[in-house]
Structure formats: C-alpha cells, structure tokens
Amino acid sequence: MMMTTNTTNKFFWTAIQKNLSFLITRNNVFLLLGLFLFISCNKNENLNIKSLKTPTGWGYFITNNKKIIIKQTVIPVISENKSFKTEEDALKLGNLVLQKLKDDLSPTVTKKDLFLLAVKI
C-alpha cells in the first residue's frame, strides 16, 4: 500500500509563515524609520545661542539641549586671534552658524560671510 501526504497543505502553511514574517519585518522597518525621522526632526529644536564676554571683546556659544556644541571666542577665518569687537557682531555671526545648523548645513563661515554681515575686524 502506498501512502501519499498532502504536500499542498504544507506548502500553503509555509507560504503563509513566510509572508507573515515578511510583513512583520517590513512593519518593523517602517516603525524604525518613523522613529528615526521623528528623532532627527527634533534634534535641532533645542539649539540656542548666547553671547560671551571675553577679556578682549565678545564671542558666542551655541548649545543643544543645554550642552555647548560650539564655543567661538575669536573671529574665525582671519589670520589673527581677535575677539569680536561688539556683542552684536558676535551674535550676527553666531546666528548665521545657528541657522546653518538648523538647516543641516556645515557650520563653517567664510570671509565673505564676515563681509556680508558687516562684522568689524
């Protein structure tokens, strides 16, 4: 006597298990992606700038969640180590850097930026 097994039934359940695990995995990926986007969208909301009095003038610092991430006590991109002459000049450049950070751009500045903001050197 020959015995046959129902192979279509096994195939059916195997296919369901594969598809179910695929859906669960795909949903986990979407969940992780959503979480990542939520975190990355909120990362720049706590950026703040404050002026800083130095012995020779002014500077600024930028914080993220109350942690200092940039402390600029001298005018960048010039050959001398000079502080900003006024608090307003320090904050003008600091606000430019702050905006670049919020826009996910490099916080570097150029001599052209100093000129356009009329920062006194």
From first to last of the 121 residues of the chain, give the pLDDT tens digit: 555 555 555 666 676 666 656 555 555 545 444 545 555 555 556 899 999 999 999 999 999 999 999 999 999 999 999 999 999 999 999 999 999 999 999 999 999 999 999 999 8
Give the pLDDT of residue 2: 57
In sequence order, what are the beta bridge partners of 84?
58
In sign, the C-alpha dihedral spanning 41, 42, 45, 46 is negative
Burial string for 34-67 (b: 16+ CB within 10 Å, else e) reads eeeeeeeeeeeeebebebbeeeebbbbbbeeeee
Give the total residue count for the chain: 121
- What pTM value is reported for the model? 0.64
Give the pLDDT of residue 86: 97
Give the pLDDT of residue 44: 56
